[in-house]
Chains A and B, each alone.
Chain A
Amino acid sequence: MSTMFPAIVNQILVKGEFVVLLYFLFVNGWYLILLVSSLLELRRHMLLITDESRHLLLSSTLSPTISILAPAFNEEATIETSLRALLALQYPSLEVIVISDGSKDRTVQTLIEKFDLVPVKTIYEQRIRTKPVRGLYRSSTYSGLVVVDKENGGKADALNVGLSFARGELVCAMDADTLIEADGLQRMVRPFLYATDVVATGGTIRVVNGSEVKLGRVFRTAVPTNMLAGVQVVEYLRAFLFGRLGWNRLGGNIIISGAFGLFQREAVVNAGGYLHDTVGEDMELVLRLKRLSYENGGPGRIAFVPDPVAWTEVPETAKVLGRQRDRWHRGLADVLWRHRGMMFNPRYGITGLFVFPYYVFVELLSPMIEAVGLVSLTLGLVFGVVDWKFAALFYLTAYGLGTALTACTLILEDLSFHRYETFRDRALLFWWALVENLGYRQVTVYWRLRGLWKFLRGRKDWGTMERKGFRPVTAT
């Protein structure tokens, strides 16, 4: 018995290795394609925007109207600064709709006092069913400001209410704590001006932790010294500059960050708005828009703008980060399950044949494969089937490629926008890129597996996101 068990482990390991290697080949093949694609796309983009005159958009009466939908829940402390920053965005025809999602604090009262709000009769065209609206306010000072006070129903419900009140041709969905660059909307609107088949655009979201913030704008960029935040800077760079940009060129974008995205209002309303019963409502909407464009015709291109257009605060504690990643993975599983009919379905073009399978095999199942690899390697070591040298080599081979890929992403950032300029920032970025594989990545595998498990058990709770707050500008 004592000799049989290691033999079984040995057999599993040999077969498992073959599967893991095939998986690595598949994944790395895709990564290579995405890397080349993002490099080409970024080069094209930089050539297009160098010395362009975006200010012409500002003075044009032809620019499409944008309605910003800003859901707020208990944001009393920050709502004034956030809203003033939104109202000061450099865009000619802008409407800002703040939706207080049943705030229990003084969010609405603060808005009434600070922005000269007056109540108006609550009548609106309800094209999407939502929780009841308690009050509607318009500003006597800011013509484009609308404040909606509604019963609590979650972010998706708040955005749906915002869609009912929006008058703009385009709607911008964002999180209450997202900081938008002053010219962010000018950059994001470009794809809509360049093509008629664009239904939504997303931009690069950067991590604000560590950077200095003043009046709702990022004043000085810096890489955070906190390990979790630092590693997430690297993760965000990789996700946006490498993943989404790469897919953009291949026409396979299906994700727009919930923190900041621009959509054709009519298309979103006609599609039924955001779904309430999913934790991945942003991805679900984008995939639904894409799916509907294949099924019914109409615009369906999801464009990605690589310019850094918005900043978000990321969790700095393992507990909160774990909840976030668990929720993200549950959301991914839920969305892919809802739209499973697209998988390998030629009716959905490149999305059905390549993008959807990529998200299933690479994004959704990767924690399982990674966990199998890690567990079998550990078992192999415990039972003496694998020697230390081989284990170390296998580990380095598996994760070394990830680090090399991250290094390529850092180069992409450096060749294009290079927002992290100092030697300290560069050294920190590189350090976090190395550290990411030494424990952090393995823990995220656990969080993502937990998310999958919860999905299988039907859990749909969000968990709470605790925020530390932005770092104010220090006197220099």
Chain B
Amino acid sequence: MVSENLLNIVMLVEIGLLLLGVGFFFAHGLWLYVSNRRLLRLSKSARESVARLITSGYVNVEEIQALRLLPDNVQVIAFLEISRNLSGSQKERLGFVAQQVGVVDRARKLCESKRWTHRLRGTRILSRLDVPDPMVHKMLADPHPAVRAQAAEWAAAQPSVPVISAMLTLLADPATQARFAVQNALLRMGGVVAGPLSTFLENHSGRAAEAGLRVAESLAEPSFGPAALRHSRAEDVGVRVAAANLLGAVADAPAAERLMELLGDDESRVRAAAAHGLGRMQHWQAGSLLAERLRDSAWRVRRAAGLALRSIGAPGALFLRRALKGDDRFAADMAQQVLDLPEAAAG
């Protein structure tokens, strides 16, 4: 029989744990209620102060002093909340005020911490304030991917040559999180990255090139043409697909010619991307080749070819109608489905 004393001890421990848990649960609830009310009150006044400091054309020392006296988290909340709605000179002014209040210095210190969570917090504050701080530039090389990703977010608003160069290096980042953030940031930088990205694409291959090609596709600058042509001959299927997509976005004569060649690629993903690209550039001269692809053995290629023919307009529609009466049942079915699609769904 299990000792009654042992059970008594176990039960007492459990009751203690339970009481402790329940006490904590309710006490935490009360604390949340009180602190939230306090936080709301303080952050409201902090927001008002920050807004006044930004809109007024001078430095109000007393107001800055008053902000300094508020708890750190209240200051950060107020600055970050307002930062979402500002851009340009007002954002610069916000950064200046944050510097005066001490928010920037504290964030900088956090960036120097040994703990990645602190560095992430520091980088996040600086990036949300768009402060052009060399410290955040350094964080692009941080050992933790979350910090690098956050620094990349900051970089989107700092399109200088060294920042772009560091960002392009990160396109080869082994961590997906950082790579995605870098791609996103490069896109947000816009046309300014076109030149350096073209050079990057000329000199890189593999995963880095694929990541770069995806950015280039969204930017769709004609200067990416030569790089896209080169990568469309890569061994890696992913790279060839990305290159075909880019060629469709570049949409010049050599791109169209190469895309028509890629319609005969061994890999169905590449053939589908080529068909999609030709449809995107509305290259009606490719109509007959695309009509041939309606007979492709791969569903995705038939579908991409059908949609491309529809995008081309009248000549494409002619090919689709011809396919309806052809001897290939698969081509006829796909042509029928594409022709049936309502305008909204055919894009």
Contact A14/B153 with A51-B128, A393-B11, A400-B14 known, Cβ cut-off 8 Å: no
What residues of A have a CB within 8 angstroms of the CB of B218 in the complex? 61-62
**A394 to B21, Cβ gap below 8 A?**
no
A194 to B179, CA, bound (A): 9
The stretch of A99-107, A406-414, A446-454, A462-470 that contacts the partner chain: A406-414
| B7 in contact (CB, < 8 A) | yes
**B120 to A48, Cβ gap below 8 A?**
yes
A390 to B188, CA, bound (A): 69
A452 to B117, CA, bound (A): 46
Contact A48/B14 with A53-B153, A62-B183 known, Cβ cut-off 8 Å: no
The stretch of B42-50, B198-206, B286-294, B335-343 that contacts the partner chain: B335-343
| B124 in contact (CB, < 8 A) | yes
| B299 in contact (CB, < 8 A) | yes
What residues of A have a CB within 8 angstroms of the CB of B22 in the complex? 407, 430
What residues of A have a CB within 8 angstroms of the CB of B28 in the complex? 411, 414-415
Cβ-neighbour of B21 out of A51, A60, A407 (below 8 A): A407
What sequence of 0s and 1s flags, for each residue 136-152 of chain A, a beta carbon within 8 Å of any chain B beta carbon? 00111111001000000
What sequence of 0s and 1s flags, for each residue 199-241 of chain B, a beta carbon within 8 Å of any chain A beta carbon? 0000000000000001100100000000000000000000000
| A5 in contact (CB, < 8 A) | no
What residues of B have a CB within 8 angstroms of the CB of A21 in the complex? 2
What residues of A have a CB within 8 angstroms of the CB of B2 in the complex? 17, 21, 394
What sequence of 0s and 1s flags, for each residue 323-335 of chain B, a beta carbon within 8 Å of any chain A beta carbon? 0000000000110
**A14 to B1, Cβ gap below 8 A?**
yes
Cβ-neighbour of B344 out of A143, A394, A411 (below 8 A): A143
Contact A143/B21 with A62-B180, A400-B11, A415-B28 known, Cβ cut-off 8 Å: no
Chain B residue at minimum C-beta to C-beta distance from A136: B337
| A123 in contact (CB, < 8 A) | yes
A360 to B11, CA, bound (A): 28
What residues of A have a CB within 8 angstroms of the CB of B8 in the complex? 393
Chain A residue at minimum C-beta to C-beta distance from B186: A62
Contact A410/B21 with A62-B184, A120-B341, A195-B177 known, Cβ cut-off 8 Å: yes
**B29 to A414, Cβ gap below 8 A?**
yes
Q: Nearest chain B CB to A356's CB is how many angstroms away? A: 28
Chain A residue at minimum C-beta to C-beta distance from B211: A62
**B80 to A51, Cβ gap below 8 A?**
yes
Chain A residue at minimum C-beta to C-beta distance from B300: A125
| A121 in contact (CB, < 8 A) | yes
| A270 in contact (CB, < 8 A) | no
**A138 to B128, Cβ gap below 8 A?**
no
| B70 in contact (CB, < 8 A) | no
**B177 to A120, Cβ gap below 8 A?**
no
Chain A residue at minimum C-beta to C-beta distance from B77: A51
| B10 in contact (CB, < 8 A) | yes
**A120 to B29, Cβ gap below 8 A?**
no
What residues of B have a CB within 8 angstroms of the CB of A403 in the complex? 14, 18
A138 to B338, CA, bound (A): 11
Chain B residue at minimum C-beta to C-beta distance from A418: B32
| A196 in contact (CB, < 8 A) | yes
What residues of B have a CB within 8 angstroms of the CB of A141 in the complex? 344
Q: Nearest chain A CB to B67's CB is how many angstroms away? A: 19
Decide if the interface of chain B is mainly helix, strand, loop or mixed: helix
A415 to B336, CA, bound (A): 57
A116 to B344, CA, bound (A): 11
What residues of B have a CB within 8 angstroms of the CB of A414 in the complex? 25, 28-29, 32
Q: Nearest chain B CB to A292's CB is how many angstroms away? A: 21
**B21 to A404, Cβ gap below 8 A?**
yes
Count residues of A near B (Cβ-Cβ below 8 Å).
Answer: 53
What sequence of 0s and 1s flags, for each residue 57-85 of chain A, a beta carbon within 8 Å of any chain B beta carbon? 00011100000000000000000000000
Q: Nearest chain A CB to B302's CB is how many angstroms away? A: 9
| A389 in contact (CB, < 8 A) | yes
**B187 to A61, Cβ gap below 8 A?**
yes
A407 to B1, CA, bound (A): 30
Chain A residue at minimum C-beta to C-beta distance from B335: A121
| B15 in contact (CB, < 8 A) | yes
What residues of B have a CB within 8 angstroms of the CB of A397 in the complex? 7, 10-11, 14
| B17 in contact (CB, < 8 A) | yes
Q: Nearest chain B CB to A20's CB is how many angstroms away? A: 9
| A4 in contact (CB, < 8 A) | no
A390 to B3, CA, bound (A): 9
| A52 in contact (CB, < 8 A) | yes
Contact A123/B7 with A51-B124, A52-B124, A404-B17 known, Cβ cut-off 8 Å: no
What residues of B have a CB within 8 angstroms of the CB of A408 in the complex? 21
A119 to B333, CA, bound (A): 14
Of residues 257 to 309 in B, which have CB atoms within 8 Å of A's CB atoms?
299-300
Q: Nearest chain B CB to A125's CB is how many angstroms away? A: 4
What residues of A have a CB within 8 angstroms of the CB of B24 in the complex? 411
A17 to B146, CA, bound (A): 50
**A393 to B4, Cβ gap below 8 A?**
yes
**A139 to B342, Cβ gap below 8 A?**
yes
What residues of B have a CB within 8 angstroms of the CB of A143 in the complex? 344-345, 347
- The residue among B4, B18, B153, B183 with the most chain A CB atoms within 10 A of its own CB is B18
**B333 to A121, Cβ gap below 8 A?**
yes
What sequence of 0s and 1s flags, for each residue 113-154 of chain B, a beta carbon within 8 Å of any chain A beta carbon? 000010011001100100000000000000001100000010
What residues of A have a CB within 8 angstroms of the CB of B188 in the complex? 56
**A123 to B337, Cβ gap below 8 A?**
yes
| A396 in contact (CB, < 8 A) | yes
| B176 in contact (CB, < 8 A) | yes
Q: Nearest chain B CB to A412's CB is how many angstroms away? A: 10
Of residues 26 to 68 in A, which have CB atoms within 8 Å of B's CB atoms?
44, 47-48, 50-53, 56, 60-62
**A410 to B345, Cβ gap below 8 A?**
no
What sequence of 0s and 1s flags, for each residue 166-197 of chain B, a beta carbon within 8 Å of any chain A beta carbon? 00000000011100100110011000000000
What residues of A have a CB within 8 angstroms of the CB of B26 in the complex? 426, 430
| A12 in contact (CB, < 8 A) | no
| A118 in contact (CB, < 8 A) | yes
**B341 to A138, Cβ gap below 8 A?**
yes
What residues of B have a CB within 8 angstroms of the CB of A390 in the complex? 1, 4, 7
What residues of A have a CB within 8 angstroms of the CB of B175 in the complex? 194
Q: Nearest chain B CB to A334's CB is how many angstroms away? A: 33
Binding site for B on A (CB under 8 A): 14, 17, 21, 44, 47-48, 50-53, 56, 60-62, 116, 118-121, 123, 125, 138-143, 146, 193-196, 389-390, 393-394, 396-397, 400-401, 403-404, 407-408, 410-411, 414-415, 418, 421, 423, 426, 430
18 A-B pairs within 8 Å (CB atoms) are namely A14-B1, A21-B2, A51-B80, A56-B153, A62-B215, A120-B337, A139-B342, A139-B345, A140-B345, A142-B344, A146-B345, A194-B176, A390-B4, A400-B14, A404-B21, A407-B21, A415-B28, A426-B25
Binding site for A on B (CB under 8 A): 1-2, 4, 7-8, 10-11, 14-15, 17-18, 21-22, 24-26, 28-29, 32-33, 80, 117, 120-121, 124-125, 128, 145-146, 153, 175-177, 180, 183-184, 187-188, 214-215, 218, 299-300, 333-334, 336-337, 340-345, 347
The 10 A-B residue pairs whose C-beta atoms are closest, nearest first, are A407-B21, A120-B340, A400-B14, A125-B299, A194-B177, A138-B345, A140-B342, A404-B17, A143-B344, A393-B7
